Amino acid sequence: MNLNRLVVLSTLAMMAISTHTWAAEEPTGFTIEGTPGEQILTDAASSLGWQKVHKAELNWDQAKAYCDDLKYGGKDDWRLPERGELMTIVKYRKSNPASNFPGMPAKYFWSQSTSAEASGFAWGVNFRNGSLNNYDKASTQLVRCVRKS
């Protein structure tokens, strides 16, 4: 009887330690400002402000124009992120999505970075696994705009 109780207590203690360690490895790192529907998430590590909601699939030219014209959260200096900026919200220890950005779908997102090899292609991130890929600018991907905070 006492041995069973000891096993149960040991198991519970291990679960508590594991849960605490997991939580320590998964901080969100984002502060939220703005009103519902127009919230801006600022990444503490990069000081970049991100549009909380993403735009449905657009081709690259449409995505660039959308961000350039965006008025959101009381701000009007939005732009399509550079590929390096988009990679700052990738978390390789995660998958489906490979990010701790709240509400991030495991889908492809555009960056404004054009491919050096072919001007008809631009870089994007697949948030299913965090991979950086070149996509034909005529294809459609999701869009999340960024600004310096």
* HEC sequence for the chain: CHHHHHHHHHHHHHHHHHHHHHHHHCCCCEEEECCCCCCEEEECCCCEEEECCCEEEECHHHHHHHHHHCCECCECCCECCCHHHHHCCCCCCCCCCCCCCCCCCCCEEEEEEECCCCCCEEEEEECCCCEEEEEECCCCEEECCEEEC
Give the whole-number percent of the chain exceeding pLDDT 70. 81
- Range with the poorest average pLDDT among 20-29, 56-65, 98-107, 115-124: 20-29
Are 82 and 112 spatial neighbours (Cβ–Cβ below 8 Å)? Answer: yes
CA angle 137, 140, 144 (to 5 degrees): 100
**pLDDT of res. 13:** 40
The answer to whether residue 123 scores a pLDDT higher than 90 is yes
- Specify which residues 109 forms β-bridges with: 125, 142
Tell me, what's the pLDDT at 122? 98
Q: Burial, 101: exposed, middle or buried (Cβ in 10 Å; 0-12, 13-18, 19+)?
A: buried
What is the edge-to-edge ordering of all strands in the sheet holding 40-43? 30-33, 40-43, 48-51, 146-148
The owner of tokens 């590590």 is 45
Is the CATH number 3.40.190.10 carried by domain 2-148?
A: no
Whether residue 147 has pLDDT greater than 90: yes
Task: Answer for the pair 39, 33: CB distance below 8 angstroms, yes or no.
Answer: yes
pLDDT at position 148:
96
- Domain extents for the chain? 2-148
Question: What does the pLDDT read at residue 56?
Answer: 93
**Average pLDDT rounded to a whole number, residues 116-144:** 97
